[in-house]
A = this chain, B = another copy of it.
Amino acid sequence: MIIVMERTATQKQLEKILERIEKFGLEPHVIVGVARTVVGIVGDKNGLEPDSFAGLPGVEQAVPIMAPYKLASRDAKQEDTLVKVGDVLIGGDKLSFIAGPCAIESKEQISETAHAVKASGANMLRGGAFKPRTSPYSFQGLGEKGLAYLAEAGRKAGLPTVSEVIEPNDVDIVSRYVDVLQIGARNMQNFALLRKVGRLEMPILLKRGLSATVEEWLMAAEYIMSEGNYQVILCERGIRTYETATRNTLDVAAVALARQLTHLPVIADPSHATGKADLVGPAGCAAIAAGAQGLMVEVHPDPNLALSDGPQSLTPQEFDKMVKQVLRVADAVKQNNLEHDHRPDFNHS
């Protein structure tokens, strides 16, 4: 950390800072400049935050120089992490396609979808049973019955399953039925939930919060990892901006940046990111081109009759076409890596 003193800071204020630094067992380095005095604290100390200095009298700013996440960082682990789900390796050479309806509505709906997306190349099945809805009057999902339908549909189609869990008390029941637990965007900083799933031994798919920075997203992964569960898959799903023409704004540079900063797999959800079926294809291709290692796509046998998220759901036919195109894009960006050398600008391995 670097502490920049105010132009008008007194010698006494400076001494109080130095005292505080030493209290933490660290060594301060003082540089007296023409206009300002600067104090460097170069030793590494877990949990010591710039905020704990920024408020002291005489301090203008306190600047961190180390990323606040440790276990999630490429500094901690250079090589890409592979998360194994059944026979699928997320983060590896092959793209992951997680597809299915926003909400599980019936046995037939999820089963029909499972077979269709499997035929198109999906290697995982998604479906919501506990839905976080903005309105208490909207359809909230089928609950455990939905999970049972999902598990059965996945088993019959030969697809591992993923479903969202929205509170710590549901973790046991959801984890009994599915292969991957999803933490939704609204719960990215539901720390009790993060800790709870951090104590499981199963993969966690962690969506980026609606207005979370990349750093906060990686800190949320760190919460899970700090409890012992290292099987975390990150999923970019669009952020909230002033633009209203799309549901959210897909942040493809965040995908590329996360690939640089962390060894965890990074995928994208173009359905929630755009909110419009006819933008899902282009957005999905874009995410893959930026380095995403998989996609999560909403597919419904008849989007017009979907109980939720119909407008952003693809038909199985549209999904089929999309997969083909996405695979070609993945291939296009991958070829480059053979020639790749010094700068990490195209690191979609």
Binding site for B on A (CB under 8 A): 2, 4, 7, 16, 29, 31-36, 38, 40, 42-44, 46-47, 49, 51-52, 54-57, 60-61, 63, 65-66, 68-69, 75, 132-139, 166-170, 186-187, 189-193, 195, 210-211, 213-216, 219, 222-223, 226, 239-246, 249-257, 259-260, 273-274, 277-283, 285-291, 303-304, 306-313, 318, 321-322, 324-325, 328-329, 331-333, 335-336, 339, 343-346, 348
Given known A31-B40, A343-B278, contact A245–B329 (CB-CB < 8 A): no
Partner of A169, one of B60, B189, B192: B192
- A346 partner residues in chain B, CB cutoff 8 A: 281-282, 321-322, 325
B310–A51 touching, CB < 8 Å: yes
Q: Which 5 A-B pairs have the closest CB atoms?
A: A33-B42, A55-B311, A167-B192, A211-B211, A55-B310
Complexed CA–CA distance, A288 and B252 (Å)? 12
Chain multiplicity (copies): 4
Beta-carbon nearest neighbor of A169 in chain B: B168
Complexed CA–CA distance, A303 and B57 (Å)? 10
B253–A246 touching, CB < 8 Å: yes
Complexed CA–CA distance, A322 and B343 (Å)? 12
- Between-chain CB contacts (< 8 Å), 8 pairs: A40-B40, A47-B139, A134-B189, A134-B216, A168-B169, A213-B245, A253-B282, A321-B346
Given known A2-B4, A42-B36, A55-B303, contact A191–B132 (CB-CB < 8 A): yes
Given known A134-B219, A135-B219, A321-B346, contact A282–B256 (CB-CB < 8 A): yes
A186–B190 touching, CB < 8 Å: yes
Complexed CA–CA distance, A63 and B170 (Å)? 35
Minimum Cβ distance to chain B for residue A249 (Å): 5
B51–A44 touching, CB < 8 Å: no
- A239 partner residues in chain B, CB cutoff 8 A: 241-243, 249
- A256 partner residues in chain B, CB cutoff 8 A: 274, 279, 282-283, 286
- A348 partner residues in chain B, CB cutoff 8 A: 282
A249–B241 touching, CB < 8 Å: yes
Beta-carbon nearest neighbor of A336 in chain B: B325
Most B C-beta atoms less than 10 A away, residue of A35, A239, A257: A257
Minimum Cβ distance to chain B for residue A52 (Å): 7
- A43 partner residues in chain B, CB cutoff 8 A: 33-35
Partner of A56, one of B56, B68, B304, B321: B304
- A286 partner residues in chain B, CB cutoff 8 A: 252, 256, 286-287, 289-290
